[in-house]
Chain A
Amino acid sequence: MRRLILPLTLVSAFGATGALADESAPHCGANTGEAATGEPIKIGGIHGNAAPGDFSSSTDAAAAYFSCVNANGGIHGRPIEYLVENDQWNPELAGQAASKLLVDEAVVAMVGNGSFLEMAVNAGTYKDADMMVMASACAVSECFESSNIVSTNQGPLGSNVGVIQYMQEELGVQSVACISLAIPNVGTWSCDAVTGYMEENGGTAQSVFLNPAAPDVNSAMLEAIATGADTMLVNLPAGLATAVLKAAEEQDLRDAYKWAAPTTLYDLSVPAALGEYWDGHIYVNAELAPFTDGGDDNQNWIKVMDGFANADDPRDTFSQSGYLSAKFFVETLLKMDAGDVGDREKVNAAITGISGYASDLMCGPYYVGEADFHYPNHAGHVVLIKDGSFEVVRDCFEYNSAYFDPHIAIETTLGLR
C-alpha cells in the first residue's frame, strides 16, 4: 500500500514547508519542448526488486528523466530507449540481465543501476565489455572498488563514516557498536571503515553482525549492548533497522545511547514508522541534498518525478541519485557529436572523461576517470529525525577518513581541488 501512501506523504511534507516549486515544467536535456523522433539510442539499467528489498527507485527516476528528455528534443533529436532488467536478488538473473543488455540488446551505456548484488556479479563483465556503468544505488564494495562502475550515491561506507564523523565531532562519541548484516562486501566492509575512522580519531568501534536469515533481531541488540559502546550505529536496511530500533524501544534503551544510521533511514516514511519514541534521537546521514532543499536540481528532480514518473514510484535518495546519473549522462551525450551518440565505445570514452560536473544534489564534484576505484560522492549532510520528519543538523561536509585519501589524490590530479 506504499504505492498510495508515499507520494501523498511527500507532497504534504513539501507542501508544509512551502518547498514545492512553481507549476513550471521540468528542465530536461536540450529542453526544446519538442518530442524526439529519430532512431532510438538504447540504454540499459538493472535494479533489484524482490523480497526483502526494492532498489528500483533509481531506475524509476532515470526512466522518468529520460522520458522528459525524449519529450524535449532527446539526444540530438534521437530518443532514449531505456531498457530495465530486474535481478530479483538472484546472482544468476543478475548475470543474465547484464548479458541480455550488453550482448542481445547492444545497449550503448548502462545508467541508473541499483542493486545489492548486481554490481558484485557483473563488475568483471562490465570491465571485459569496456562499459563504464553510471550506477545510482550501490551498496556493495565492488560498486566503489572496481574500474568500470561509478555511482552518484555513497553506499554504506561513506554514509556510515559521515554520520559517525558528525557525532564524534559534535556529540563527543567515543565508542561505536556498528550493527550490520553479516555480508562481507556490505556489512563488514562498511563497519570496518567506521572502526578505521574511530581509531584514527582516538575512539573505538566494534561490529555486531546480524545473520540475514535469522528472524530475531533482539539478540543482535543485546550483543551490541554487551560491547559497552556509547553509540549504536544501525547500519541496516530500513525494514531491519526498524525492527532493531523496536527491540531497543522494548528495552527502553533510547536514552542510554546515542543513535545513528546511514541514509537507509532517510526515507519520509521512517519517522512515522518509528513513532514518537524516537523523535529527536536518531541522527541519519543524507548522501544527497535533503528532500526539502530548494536547489535547482532538487526541485527539478521533483518536477521530473511528478511529470514523468508513476505516482507510486518512491521519492527517496536512490530516486535522487538515479535522476542525477541520468542527468549527467544526458549532459555528456549532448556534448558529443550527433553521429557518435550511438557508438558504445565513444559513449563510454566520453563517460570516462567526465570531470567536474556539479549539482546542488551533491556536495562535491562528480567525476569518473580511469582508476580501479570510483567514489566521487564522499561528502554529505546529517539530519535528525524530528517532529515526524527530518531536520538538517549539518549541511555539506567532507568525510575525513583515510579511506578517501586515494580519491582525494585523484581529485587533486584532475584539478577538482
Chain B
Amino acid sequence: MTLNRSILLSTVLYVIAISAVIAVLGHGKPAKVISLFAVSGLATGALYALGGIGLVVLYRATGVLNIAYGAMGAAAAMFAWQLGQWGIIPPLTWVCGIALALVLSLTYGRGIAPRLAFQPPVVKAVATLGAALIILGGVNFFWVDDVRKFSLPTDTIGIQILGLRVTATRLIVLLTAIAVVIVIQSYLKHSIRGLQMRSIANDRALSALLGIPILRVETLAWGISGLLAGFTGLLFGDLIRLEPTVITFMVIPAIAAAICGRLENLWLVLIGGLSIGLIESLMTLSPLFKSIRPVTPFAIAVLAMLWMQRGTRLIFDEEK
C-alpha cells in the first residue's frame, strides 16, 4: 500500500515537473513549435534510454558500470561504415559492426573484468573508463577526422507526428528500447539465468559457493551488453553524428538515464532517457538555457537521485 502510494506520488510529481518545464521553456512559443522540439527530443531521448538499458543490464548482472559502452558503440559504427565504403552489402556491415562491439565487450568481460571482480564498484567503473580511452584511441587512429555519413534504409521511411517527420529509424529506436525493457525484465525475473545474474550482482562470492557458473553468466551479460552497445552505436552514428568521440561520450547521458533508474529499474531508465532528450531539446527554445543544454543529463540524474534516495540505500555502496 505504502509502495503504491509512493509510486503514485512520484508519478504525479514527475508529470507536474515535466509540464512545468515545458511551460517555462516553451513560454511564448507556438504550440506547433514546442511540439516539433518535443518530438525531436523524445527521439533523441530514446537513444539515451537504449544506451542506459544496455548499461543497466550489465550492471545488474555483474556490478560493472561499463563506461566503455559508448566507445564500443563507436567502434561498431565506424567499422560498419568502413565496410560499407569497401562495398560490402549493408546488412552484413551492420552485423559485422555489432559483432565487433560484441567481441570488444566479451574480451573485456572475460579478460579483464573477472580480475577486478572483488574490487569496489567504483574501481570497476574506472577500469572501464580506461578501456573506453583505449578503444577510442584505436578508433581515432584508424579513422582520422573526415566527413562521413552513415545511413540506414529506414531513414527514408517516415511519418508525420505533430508536424515533424519521424523516420522509421527513430521509431525503431523507441520500440526497441521498450521491447528490450520488456524482454530483459522478463528474462531477469522469470528465467534461471536471470535469477543467477541477480544473485551474482548481489553477492558474487556467495553465488559461487552456491554453484552458480559465474563466468558463464557474466559472459552472457557482457554479450547482451555488447550487442546493445553495437546496436546503439549504429543508430547513434546514423541519427546523431558519425564521429567516434561523439558516440563514445553518448555514454554520459546514457549513464544519467541509468541513474534515473537507480541502475536497476529498466522502466525508469527508459523514462529517464526520454526525459533527458525531451528537456535537452526544449532548452533550445530558451535563450537563457540553450547554452547549458549539455548540463541536462547531469541535472536530471541528480534530481532523480535526490528524489529516489530519500530514506533508502546508497547506489554505489552496496558492497559495504
Contacts and interface: CB of A to CB of B under 8 A. Distances in A.
B241 A5 contact: no
A207 to B, nearest CB: 11
B70 to A, nearest CB: 10
Contacts of B158: 250
Contacts of A243: 240-243
Interface in B202-226: none
A217 interface: yes
Interface string A1-28: 1110110000000000000000000000
A226 interface: yes
Contacts of B36: 222, 225
Interface residues of B, number: 42
B149 interface: yes
B147 A213 contact: no
Nearest to B146: A2
A270 B277 CA distance: 29
Contacts, number: 107
Interface stretch (B108-116, B118-126, B180-188, B287-295): B287-295
A44 B290 CA distance: 40
B85 interface: yes
B40 A219 contact: yes
B170 to A, nearest CB: 8
A216 B246 CA distance: 10
A218 B281 contact: yes
B40 A218 contact: yes
B44 interface: yes
Given A1-B85, A216-B281, A240 B40 contact: no
Contact of B145 (A52, A215, A222, A250): A52
Contacts of A226: 33
Summarize B's interface: helix, strand, loop or mixed.
helix
Contacts of A223: 284-285
Interface in A234-258: 238-240, 242-243, 246, 249-252
Interface in B139-162: 140, 142-149, 151, 155, 158
A51 B294 contact: no
Contacts of B148: 239, 242, 273
A215 B246 contact: yes
B250 interface: yes
A53 B145 contact: yes
B165 interface: yes
Nearest to B295: A213
Nearest to A182: B291
B141 to A, nearest CB: 10
B265 interface: no
A250 B284 contact: no
Contacts of B284: 219-220, 222-223
A315 to B, nearest CB: 13
Given A240-B241, A250-B158, A216 B147 contact: no
B293 A214 contact: yes
A223 B34 CA distance: 11
A5 B240 contact: no
Interface of B: 33, 36-37, 40-41, 43-44, 82, 85, 140, 142-149, 151, 155, 158, 164-165, 167, 240-246, 249-250, 277, 280-281, 284-285, 290-291, 293-294
Closest 9 CB pairs of A and B: A219-B284, A2-B146, A213-B294, A54-B145, A51-B245, A273-B147, A243-B241, A238-B147, A214-B293
